[in-house]
Structure 1
């Protein structure tokens, strides 16, 4: 049974329209006119318990709006949504104890106090006993390598340390559904890797369900086998991450190291030459022509080494967003 389920989910925002000049300002004040902005349009999907799903889309695609509807922060304009058996916007206590929302650009820790003090407040909110509080803090701090930092004021922590402390605070009540909106935003490479390792371990240890948005494809590749792609408020792909390559990348990259240098003119007959650097060349070849092209290159040119690889997943997803529809992609 799905732990997260949406059917025809939609959100429309009325936006006031204002004309320039003083006359327009007065009219706006006395008699406003509105136009409707569809932020999310008919989104339907299901997530099973324990799944880690990537939620991808360009800025303004509707990701954060969808997350806010899933967590009950805003009321949907259309459709139905259930999370852990609850209707989110009712904000029932039993529901709130099973979910958490982490937004990379927001913080819940009190800036001038040690993180441990904020954690005690969270423990009181969720009615966690002192003994259980100590155990959970110890466990999560070990997983995050954060022990020595919890007694320092939050303002003295680095960005990576603050993000780890935010995760600890968000997971103190041991939620079963995690909604993560850019949890590695602004972090350096090492801090991103540490957060990814922690989320992977938390998912494996507790069987938690995770819906993750991120502009860092390394997060998605490391954690998610399935992805949802949203574009202009509409869901345009729901499937395995590796399925994106088969569906939206009808070409492969062939990189060759030659025994002697060739010119662009020499190589033009073998496909689209995307790079030529000394004795190394890279071709973009359509999948249906791959076998024939590679055979010709090996037979007709002096090849030292040859590799065939998929295009970078970032490039494929960028192409999907550029096209904007599954049918055309």
Structure 2
């Protein structure tokens, strides 16, 4: 299986203005400015094979957007090598953009004041898609995403969920071998998310479409991706199978307690389980608290017994640690790739 994306020691630096302190410093800044070089992406290397669906994740400021912009040819790297679909995204930009699809959750590629189908026809001309290919492919896309009733509507009259389905259809209009998705389900309801996920799986299976997915919604990652690349401070701290995250760092359990006392606080709970090194986090309601503990039968039994003896409980549940909590632990503990 050939590589769709090849990245080697990719680096992007930005100049940042550093202000001097005090009135005298501000006056000097008018004539001469101090700058410092800040690496947003710090010598990262990875490959993505054709047909892979990869989750590209990290906290805000980790370097995701900057590296995606280099992969799509928007930004020029400071140093390093990047090849996408056999091309240099920046140097061969005109040919390159015809081989990719891009969906940014906060930006639209559709024309705001014209009907959706007119936007599709304009994009068809831009990508030089033959009529017969367009008709067969887009009929399938329109049916799969259930957007036929939206084609006559101007984009500005669509809801967010309707617009994102149309944006996805537009990105795949020319059936590109590679699709970049940046927060494609942000702000969408559950039913729309499920429809988009099912469609992406179908496109991957039918056309072997390679997908690089950037999102803060980790349920999207779990539903679509077997592999994740995790960034922190411009560096890759994990690159591997999603299942290994759980097996290596998700060995804990989450014990969810619903207390009769609606005013329960973390301060009251912490001394109760200090010896078990439990970490308390608030649940989805005021009287629900979650104890994160090691996956040890004796510890779990003691934690439940200690809490039941101290407070009145309405409900009790034991869960596997969520992917969100596993990733939060990785960031907090500073685990490096290995």
Q: Please confirm whether the aligned pair reaches a TM-score higher than 0.5, indicating the same fold.
A: yes
Q: What is the root-mean-square deviation of aligned Cα atoms in Å?
A: 3.5
Could you say which residue in structure 2 is the equivalent of 1:286?
Answer: 294
CA–CA distance in structure 2, aligned partners of residues 19 and 240 of structure 1: 46
Could you say which residue in structure 1 is the equivalent of 2:63?
Answer: 62
Could you say which residue in structure 2 is the equivalent of 1:248?
Answer: 249
Q: Does 1:326 align with 2:323?
A: no
Is the CA contact (8 Å cut-off) linking 1:11 and 1:76 kept in structure 2? yes
SS in 2 for 1:180: strand
After the TM superposition, which of the residue ranges 86-95 and 198-207 deviates more from structure 2? 86-95
Could you say which residue in structure 2 is the equivalent of 1:225?
Answer: 226
Could you say which residue in structure 1 is the equivalent of 2:43?
Answer: 42
Task: Write the mapping of 1:28-177 to structure 2, written as runs, cut at 5 A.
Answer: 28=29, 30-177=31-178
Gaps of 5+ in 2: 258-268, 282-287, 309-315
SS in 2 for 1:120: helix
CA–CA distance in structure 1, aligned partners of residues 18 and 160 of structure 2: 39
SS in 1 for 2:336: coil
Deviation at 1:268, TM superposition (A): 6.5
Deviation at 1:83, TM superposition (A): 0.8
Deviation at 1:221, TM superposition (A): 0.8
Task: Write the mapping of 1:258-277 to structure 2, written as runs, cut at 5 A.
Answer: 271=276, 272=278
Deviation at 1:202, TM superposition (A): 1.1
SS in 2 for 1:90: coil
Distance 1:129 1:311, change over 3 A: same
TM-score w.r.t. length of structure 1: 0.83
Deviation at 1:61, TM superposition (A): 0.8
Could you say which residue in structure 2 is the equivalent of 1:216?
Answer: 217
CA–CA distance in structure 2, aligned partners of residues 103 and 282 of structure 1: 35
After the TM superposition, which of the residue ranges 147-156 and 191-200 deviates more from structure 2? 191-200
Q: Deviations over 1:221-268 (max 9, x none)?
A: 110111011011110001111111222234234679xxxxxxx9xx96
Distance 1:148 1:291, change over 3 A: same
Deviation at 1:35, TM superposition (A): 1.3
After the TM superposition, which of the residue ranges 28-37 and 66-75 deviates more from structure 2? 28-37
Deviation at 1:79, TM superposition (A): 1.3
Is the CA contact (8 Å cut-off) linking 2:12 and 2:78 kept in structure 1? yes
TM-score w.r.t. length of structure 2: 0.81
After the TM superposition, which of the residue ranges 9-18 and 54-63 deviates more from structure 2? 9-18
SS in 2 for 1:89: coil
Could you say which residue in structure 2 is the equivalent of 1:261?
Answer: none
SS in 1 for 2:90: helix
Distance 1:137 1:291, change over 3 A: same
CA–CA distance in structure 1, aligned partners of residues 57 and 44 of structure 2: 13
CA–CA distance in structure 1, aligned partners of residues 229 and 25 of structure 2: 42
Deviation at 1:130, TM superposition (A): 2.7
**Equivalent residue pairs, number:** 315
CA–CA distance in structure 2, aligned partners of residues 297 and 319 of structure 1: 21
CA–CA distance in structure 2, aligned partners of residues 297 and 323 of structure 1: 23
Gaps of 5+ in 1: 257-263
CA–CA distance in structure 2, aligned partners of residues 165 and 133 of structure 1: 15
Deviation at 1:94, TM superposition (A): 3.7
SS in 2 for 1:247: helix
Distance 1:99 1:273, change over 3 A: closer
Could you say which residue in structure 2 is the equivalent of 1:188?
Answer: 189
CA–CA distance in structure 2, aligned partners of residues 118 and 30 of structure 1: 49
Q: Deviations over 1:49-76 (max 9, x none)?
A: 1111101111111111111111111011
Q: Deviations over 1:271-290 (max 9, x none)?
A: 55969xxxx99765434xx2
Deviation at 1:137, TM superposition (A): 2.2
Is the CA contact (8 Å cut-off) linking 2:251 and 2:321 kept in structure 1? no
CA–CA distance in structure 1, aligned partners of residues 294 and 7 of structure 2: 37
CA–CA distance in structure 2, aligned partners of residues 297 and 164 of structure 1: 46
